[in-house]
Amino acid sequence: MTDNLIVVSRLEDWPHRLAGARVVSAQQYLTDASFGAEQKVRVFNLCRRYAYQSAGYYVSLLAEARGHRPQPDVLTIQDMKGPNPLRLEQLDELIQRTLRKIPHDEFELSVYFGRTLAERDRQLGRRIFGLFPAPLLRAFFRRRDGRWRLAAVRPIPTGEVPESHWQDLVQSAELFFRSRRSAIAGLDNPRWSLALLVDPEEEEPPSDERALHKFVRAFQQRGIAVEQVTSEDYGRMMEFDALFIRATTSVHHFTFRFARRAAREGIPVIDSPESISRCANKVFLAELLARHGVPTPKTVVVHRDSVADVVPHLGLPCVLKLPDSAYSLGVKKVSTREELEAQARAMLEKSALIVAQEFAQSEFDWRLGVLDGRALWACKYHMASGHWQIIQRTGARTAYGRVEAVALDAVPRAVVRLAVRAARLIGDGLYGVDVKVVGRRPMVIEVNDNPSLEAGYEDQVLGDRLYEAIADAFVRRLTRKAAPAPALRRRRSAR
C-alpha cells in the first residue's frame, strides 16, 4: 500500500487530520533514516519555502533520491521560478474563455490539490495543476491589449493561505486522497497502481469500453490497481506506478506529454515517447525500414522540387501519405499526373516532406500485434466493400472492412518474422505492424504504436489471454524497476 506524506515546515502549519495521509515535519523527513527505507511513498511538500538548498528544496530532492514521488518535484520547483513560465497556445483559448468576464486587468487563481474555489475556474485550475503539479499553487494573470496572459505561477506557503480558504483547502485535500483510495477499491493490498489514459471525447478510440473493462480486470488480477485518467490528470502522474495509453497518440497531443513525463520519471509506460514519435511519422519509418532492408512497397520521400520524379519511380496509380496520417486519413490514391500534382501540392502545404508509395493491391492487410519483440496476435483487416482501404470515408459516413482474427500458427511464417523484425526497429513496446502480401512477397506498410484492441475483434482468438499478456508485460516492467541494482564489483588495482 502506498503511504502518503504531507511534509510541512512545522507541524502546526497543517493542524488537520486526513484519512489516507499523515503529516510530518521537514526535519523529521530529512533526518529520520526510517523514511529512506520506505519504498512506496508519495510526498506532498507543503513547506514554506522551496528556495535552493532550503529545507523545502531538500524535501523534494531527497524524496526523488529515495525513490519517493514528490509534489512538487525539483523540476517543477525550477519551472515555477521563471518570471513568465509559459505562454502555451494550448491554454490560450481556455484562459480567454474562463476570464472573459473578469472586470479588472489582473487576476489571481488559487489551486488547492488541483481544485479551485469557483466552479467557473475548475478546468483552468486543473490544467495549470497539470503543468505545474504542486499541492498549493497560485497563478497570476494580466490582461494586455484585451487578451489575458499567464504571467507567473508560484507555490503558496501554508502561512499565506487566507483564513477564508482553509475550509475549501482541507476539503480539496480530502477529495484528492479519497479519489486515490477509490482507485484501489476491490483490491485488499495492491502491489502497484496504473493510470489508464483515455480520451472521453474521442470518436474512434483504440479500445472500446468492453476492452477497457477486460484490461482493468486483468490488471487487478495481478495486484495492479487501475484508475482511468484523462488529459486533465497530467498533474497526478506521479501518483501512479505505470501508465497505459489507450487514447490515439500524436506528438502534438496530451498523450505525448503524458508519455514523456512518465519516461522522465522512470514510470513504465506503453506507449513510450520514442515509440510515439517514431511511429507517428511515415517519413521516419520509410527511411528506417529502407536503411535496414525491410521489404516495403517501392517508396520515395517527396519535397516540393521532386513531385515530377514520383511517376518515373513509382508509376500510376500510386499512394500519397501525409507523414502523420492515421486511420486512413491523409492517405490518398492518385491515378493521373494531374491528381498527383494537386494532392501533392495540398499535402506539401502542411508538411515539408510527404511519402509516395507504389500502389499494392490485396484483399486484406495482415495486422500483427507485437509486444516486447514477440508476436502476440494476428488479424486480417479486409478492405471495405468496393474500396482499396480497410476504412472508407464518404462525407459523414464511415465504412469498415471485416476484421478476422487468426491464430499465430496459421499465419505465414514469413509474415510473422517480418512484422517482428520491423517492430524491433522501433522498440520493445506494443505495436501493430501492417503487412501486405502481393503474390508471395510480404511487405511492411507501416508500424503503428497504440494499436487497436477492441473486444470481439483483435481478441477473437486469444480472448482474455490477450489482455492478460499485456498486463503481464507491465508486471515484468514494474518488477524490473523494483529490483535492486546489481552491486558493482570493485576492481583490484594492479600492483
DSSP string of 232-269? GGGGGGGG-SEEEE-S---TTSHHHHHHHHHHHTT--E
In the chain, the N- to C-terminal Cα span, in Å, equals: 51
* Top CATH class, 184-271: alpha beta
Q: How far apart are CA 356 and CA 321, in angstroms?
A: 6
CATH number, domain 364-462+471-480, options 3.40.470.10, 3.30.470.20, 3.40.640.10, 3.40.50.1370? 3.30.470.20
Q: Around Cβ 39, how many Cβ atoms within 10 Å?
A: 11
Domain 298-358 has CATH 3.40.309.10: no
Among 53, 73, 55, CA closest to 63: 73
Torsional sign, CA 257, 262, 264, 265: positive
Q: CA-CA distances (angstroms) from residue 250 to 267, 271, 314, 475?
A: 20, 11, 29, 26
> How many other C-beta atoms lie within 10 A of the C-beta of residue 315?
11
DSSP-based three-state secondary structure for 156: coil
d(CA 466, CA 6): 40
Q: What is the pLDDT along the chain (495 residues), one digit of tens a residue?
A: 568 899 999 999 998 888 878 999 999 999 998 887 877 788 999 999 888 889 999 999 999 888 888 999 888 888 887 654 444 566 888 999 999 999 999 999 999 999 999 999 999 998 899 888 899 999 999 999 999 999 889 999 888 899 999 999 999 999 888 765 555 545 667 889 999 999 999 988 999 999 999 999 999 999 999 999 998 888 788 789 999 999 999 988 899 989 998 998 889 999 999 999 999 889 999 999 999 999 999 999 999 999 999 999 999 999 999 988 765 568 899 999 999 999 999 999 999 999 999 998 888 999 999 999 999 999 999 988 888 888 877 777 778 889 999 999 999 999 999 999 999 999 999 999 999 999 889 999 999 999 999 999 999 999 999 999 999 999 999 999 877 655 544 444 443
**DSSP code, position 441:** E
Helical segments of 51-184, H only: 55-65, 74-79, 89-99, 122-131, 166-183
Q: What angle, 0 to 180 degrees and rounded to 10, lies between the N-to-C axes of helices 122-131 and 89-99? A: 150
Contact status, residue 288 vs residue 279, Cβ threshold 8 Å: no
Q: Among residues 68, 60, 72, which one has the least CA distance to residue 35?
A: 68
